């Protein structure tokens, strides 16, 4: 942190202390805060997600489908064919926007001659996006996306159809495990700019309590769970 940034930060914190009518933080208080930041405590975990990995995978799939996503479980070699079959079943274009992610690099996309991926950010004209996921949460059937050059946020939001390739090993029990994984992957002060938690396709019930899909993002979500 630069000297000017440190000075500005100190001024802001001092203004907050004055507003709260507190003096300078004591040495013991500072040590307690630093200890908590260095080793954040884990919050309470929901009992239903305390399962062996195969049961976590099954629970995730159950909740994802309950939240209007579709799920297919396949081996790694069958991922491109499954995505092509999904596009055909839903009469969707085979020109797709794909995240430029190492997570997707090892699949044999060339085996599907009709599939034409364009790697990069999502554009308004894109109808289908294919991405990986940082993690998934069995407790609620939620996908977790970390933004960055390898996963532009626009791919999560712009296309009408979002296809997610998810490895079984990336399915965890609850939200607390996701934050631990994020800290381990990125380290202190290097977190992604955006973390998106996505539970099924976009939907809202704001108008007359009627569920409408695709209100703020994709109206379809297909999750391809890759068996280990």
Residue 3, CA distances (Å) to 15, 50, 190, 206 in order: 18, 46, 20, 48
109 & 221 share domain: yes
Q: Is 148 helix (H, G, I), strand (E, B) or coil?
A: strand
Do 87 and 7 reside in the same domain of the chain? no
Between 51 and 6, the more confident residue is 51
How many structural domains does the chain have? Answer: 2
Buried b (16+ CB within 10 A) or exposed e, 203-227: beeeeeeeeebeeebbbbbbbbbbe
Q: Which pLDDT band holds residue 45 (cuts at 50, 70, 90)?
A: confident
DSSP 60-117: HHHHHHHTT-EEEEE-GGGHHHHHHHHHHHTT--SEEEE---HHHHTS-GGG-TT-EE
Q: What is the CATH number of the domain that holds 86?
A: 3.40.50.10420
Domain that holds residue 17: 3-38
The first and second tokens of residue 135, run together, are 């993690």
Provide the whole-model pTM.
0.82
Residue 23 near residue 17 (C-beta atoms within 8 A) = yes
Element (H, E) at 157: helix 154-157
Let me know: does 155 contact 129? Beta carbons within 8 Å.
yes
In the DSSP assignment, the letter for residue 151 is: B
Q: Which residues have a Cβ under 8 Å from the Cβ of 192 and sit 6 or more positions away?
A: 146, 147, 148, 182, 186
What would the pLDDT profile of 180-201 be if each residue is shown by its tens digit?
A: 999 899 987 788 999 999 999 8
**Same structural domain, 51 and 151:** yes
pLDDT of residue 79: 98
Same domain, 26 and 87: no
**What pLDDT digit, counting tens, does each position of 75-131 carry?**
999 999 999 999 999 999 999 999 999 999 999 999 999 999 999 999 999 999 999
Is residue 25 domain-shared with residue 51, that is, in the same domain? no
The end-to-end CA distance of the chain, in Å, is 42
Domain match, 150 and 131 both: yes
Do 19 and 84 fall into the same domain? no
| Residue 11 vs residue 57, higher pLDDT | 57
C-alpha–C-alpha distance, residues 94 and 130, integer Å = 11
Q: Are 14 and 79 in the same domain? A: no
Task: List pLDDT tens digits, range 15-40.
Answer: 887 788 776 667 777 788 777 777 77
**How many Å apart are CA 134 and CA 197, to the nearest integer?**
10
The pLDDT value given to residue 3: 67
Token pair of 14, please?
A: 């001092």
**Same-domain check for residues 203 and 97:** yes
pLDDT at 2: 67
- Interval 129-182: pLDDT, tens: 999 999 999 999 999 999 999 999 999 999 999 999 999 999 999 999 999 999
Q: Which residues pair with 169 in a beta bridge?
A: none
8 and 60 fall within a common domain: no
Is a pLDDT exceeding 60 seen at residue 10?
A: yes
Residue 43 predicted with pLDDT over 80: no
pLDDT bin (cut points 50, 70, 90) of residue 206 is low
Predicted pLDDT of residue 208: 64
- Verify that 80 and 192 share a domain, yes or no: yes
| Same domain flag for 109 and 29 | no
d(CA 158, CA 25): 46
């Amino acid at each position: 942190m630069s000297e000017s940034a440190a000075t500005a930060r100190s001024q802001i914190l001092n203004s907050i202390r004055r507003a709260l009518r507190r003096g300078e933080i004591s040495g013991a208080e500072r040590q307690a805060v630093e200890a908590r930041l260095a080793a954040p405590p884990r919050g309470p975990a929901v009992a239903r997600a305390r399962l062996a990995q195969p049961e976590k995978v099954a629970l995730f799939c159950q909740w994802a489908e309950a939240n209007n996503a579709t799920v297919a479980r396949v081996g790694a070699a069958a991922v491109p064919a499954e995505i092509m079959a999904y596009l055909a079943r839903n009469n969707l274009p085979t020109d797709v926007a794909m995240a430029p992610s190492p997570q997707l690099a090892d699949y044999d996309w060339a085996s599907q001659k009709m599939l034409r991926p364009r790697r990069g950010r999502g554009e308004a004209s894109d109808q289908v996006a294919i991405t990986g996921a940082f993690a998934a949460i069995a407790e609620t059937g939620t996908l977790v996306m970390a933004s960055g050059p390898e996963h532009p946020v626009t791919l999560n939001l712009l296309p009408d159809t979002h296809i997610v390739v998810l490895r079984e090993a990336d399915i965890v029990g609850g939200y607390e495990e996701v934050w631990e994984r994020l800290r381990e992957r990125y380290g202190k002060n290097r977190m992604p700019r955006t973390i998106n938690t996505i539970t099924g396709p976009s939907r809202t019930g704001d108008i007359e309590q009627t569920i409408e899909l695709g209100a703020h993002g994709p109206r379809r979500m297909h999750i391809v769970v890759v068996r280990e």
